[in-house]
Chains A and B, each alone.
Chain A
């Protein structure tokens, strides 16, 4: 194969990997693969590397504790004659495609999400993770083997009769830890990913643990919590929060609390026991609520609904299920948290739309068109969404403006102190105020009303502050990396009529980004976040020219997270 032919082959394989291969190019590639030995070899080399990039760059697949490898490779019976797979350096992590091996063996669809275990403490941009190195310190021990999720899955599978069946739950084993994120257990106990939990009451003092129960039920418990796994079909929750995900072929699974039982009907639901009350939210499917002293009084709760369960009755919570209240999955891979979903009450991954926040109060939920509203320049704590710290209508005329609930202030410019309507998230912006035509949704060449996109709409003057600590709590195994969005004013595209607007991004009251822009300008906002940032404020002001014509869109706004803590 000549250099030119090799270059052409490289271009074909690259186009294949990037999914822009034409039909004619595919035909050409297939022909070369069948007829040209060198082309086959080149294809295999490229594809082998392509398959490895995700793992070597710390992509969203599971990681394995290197000690696990050490313990495995240290076994004198291990046969390594084919590939001398040296253990990595102790500080390195290997990432294996084990998260999706697990669900196949367990037969539980909900586990098909990647389920990384014990992610590295630093962003997993690793050095050559498969490099041959001098042998690291070696360890032995049966528990270490379980720290590898693939290994754990297969070992679990080997004990299916005892473990993942209803007939023979282990006499001393209640559950297996599928993922542990800074979990601290009471009673000086320590359970790592892959280890088993004993029968009896357990006290998760802090952190998050994802557990696998006999039968394939998974449960994410958020500390502080006291609970006990009674059987394959029953858990007692005495205090704290858990989210249970129950496969369709498991029937009658129930979470029992001091107030009664939450009985699964094939679903995902959250239960919180706090101060003697039981709160339930359903995310998928249905559950039945059974009060302890009124067993015949069953209340059915469907996806999106929430209720309070009392000893003698259950009452529907009109606010509905708020996925921001529970950790549904600790995650662990790279995440792009959809801010439109967050504003609409989701956890950033649930694609909720049509969220509204009243900038005068921080209240979230459906609300009528309000038109022009006067602000008081005071900070208003968000009331219902955990990830929203609060809102304000900024006017720096009388001094620094409070921008978060911690009391941080920032010298924002004077404004006319008014805004229109609400902060909105979704696709089509409801026609606010006195607009006679729909709010445009195109920035650059992208229409953010299309199904693959999302937007958040602000009218100057408004400030919205996110509680980053709440975001981290919802996704405890990932790390906030940056705020990203495309920004522009969609009101007037004619440069002659352009009116200035200003965007400020503040972290704990400290300026991270500022831009003064007008109608035709569209720019990309990318603000790096640090682990110490607690509150992030987005502030739109009127540029000193009044708030008229300041319709600002954030296109595809997202908090980007990378794997690891």
Chain B
């Protein structure tokens, strides 16, 4: 059915997919474009998986494909109007590479902590997050549907994001992981 190298690639890809998408999202600042980048990078990685050295870690190898695919998309002017500048993208890539050297699992651990923090959200905050992310409504749509002030809602989401970051820090601190 499938050869062993493909099975191996599937294992690696599935295990790291969330992080690869996260990286693409940081570079593209747009969900759809980040999905396109991750998708194309996945196909390229699979096609070139024979070049992957199994003695080395998969994640840095895969991150490079995401980075170069993101650059390709940006050159093709497929990036959104909120395009992070080329200089900023380069600086971000360097930051991620440096983090890969110093703390290769920090992103994964922060994502794990985020899951716990979302569990702790108050009901109303969770409802807003659900409308935004599960149901896919924009802030404008939520404001319209709920009759809430748009700017106040922007501020509410800003506070929720900040609170979740603080919660992540607290969880990692408790784990002695910071």
Contacts and interface: CB of A to CB of B under 8 A. Distances in A.
A298 interface: no
Interface in B47-91: 54, 57-59, 82, 84-85, 87-88, 91
B35 A97 contact: yes
A58 interface: yes
B51 to A, nearest CB: 16
30 contacts: A10-B161, A17-B157, A18-B139, A26-B82, A34-B87, A40-B95, A48-B25, A49-B161, A49-B168, A51-B26, A52-B18, A53-B118, A54-B31, A54-B133, A55-B18, A57-B134, A79-B54, A84-B105, A85-B15, A96-B18, A101-B43, A125-B134, A127-B115, A127-B119, A130-B18, A130-B115, A131-B112, A150-B10, A159-B2, A334-B134
B85 A334 contact: no
Contact of B39 (A30, A100, A159): A100
Interface stretch (A69-77, A299-307, A500-508): A69-77
A52 B134 contact: no
Given A43-B92, A105-B43, A131-B112, 5 more contacts: A30-B84, A50-B161, A52-B111, A130-B108, A154-B42
Contact of A41 (B54, B88, B95): B95
Given A49-B161, A59-B134, A562-B134, A16 B82 contact: yes
Interface of B: 1-4, 6-19, 21-22, 25-26, 29, 31, 34-36, 38-40, 42-43, 46, 54, 57-59, 82, 84-85, 87-88, 91-92, 95-96, 99, 104-105, 107-108, 110-112, 114-116, 118-119, 126, 129-130, 132-136, 138-139, 144-147, 154, 157-158, 161-162, 164-165, 168
B22 A52 contact: yes
Contacts of A155: 1-2, 6-7, 10
Given A19-B82, A97-B21, A40 B15 contact: no
B133 A59 contact: yes
Given A18-B139, A26-B82, A51-B25, A131 B116 contact: yes
A37 B94 CA distance: 10
B85 A60 contact: no
A46 interface: yes
Interface of A: 7, 10-11, 13-21, 26, 29-30, 33-34, 37, 40-41, 43-60, 64, 69, 72-73, 75, 77-85, 96-98, 100-101, 104-105, 124-132, 142, 145, 148, 150-151, 154-155, 157-159, 334, 336, 446, 484, 486, 524, 560, 562-563
Given A51-B22, A56-B115, A334-B134, A44 B96 contact: yes
A130 B112 contact: yes
Which has the most chain A C-beta neighbours within 10 Å: B114, B135, B164? B135
A78 B12 CA distance: 8
A81 B138 CA distance: 39
B17 A96 contact: yes
A487 to B, nearest CB: 13
B134 to A, nearest CB: 5
A52 B117 CA distance: 12
Query: Top 9 nearest A-B pairs by Cβ distance?
Result: A128-B115, A158-B6, A33-B88, A155-B2, A14-B158, A51-B25, A47-B26, A51-B22, A30-B85
Contact of B11 (A75, A334, A563): A75
A83 B27 CA distance: 22
B158 A10 contact: yes
Contacts of B6: 154-155, 157-158
A515 to B, nearest CB: 15
Contacts of B21: 51, 97
A151 to B, nearest CB: 4
Nearest to A97: B21
A83 B59 contact: yes
A159 B7 CA distance: 12
Contacts of A124: 134
Contacts, number: 242
Contacts of B38: 97, 101
Contacts of A59: 133-134, 136
A81 B35 contact: no
Contact of B57 (A82, A84, A104, A125): A82
A128 B112 contact: yes
Contact of A82 (B8, B58, B165): B58
Contact of A524 (B13, B119, B130, B146): B146
A80 B15 contact: yes
B154 A20 contact: yes
A67 to B, nearest CB: 13
Given A52-B114, A81-B57, A98 B10 contact: no
B118 A47 contact: no
Contacts of B40: 104
Contact of B82 (A21, A34, A129, A148): A21
Which has the most chain A C-beta neighbours within 10 Å: B17, B22, B134, B146? B134
B11 A72 contact: yes
Contacts of A53: 118, 129, 132-133
Given A49-B110, A82-B104, A334-B136, A128 B10 contact: no
Nearest to A154: B10
Contact of B7 (A14, A26, A44, A145): A145
Given A18-B157, A72-B14, A96-B17, A158 B3 contact: yes
Contact of A44 (B46, B95, B158, B162): B95
A12 to B, nearest CB: 10
A150 B114 contact: no
Contacts of A105: 43, 46
A77 B154 CA distance: 47
Contacts of B139: 18, 20
A46 B158 CA distance: 11
Contact of A151 (B10, B35, B59, B162): B10
A352 to B, nearest CB: 21
Nearest to A14: B158
B177 to A, nearest CB: 11
Contacts of B134: 54, 57-60, 124-125, 334, 562-563
Contact of B9 (A30, A44, A132, A154): A154
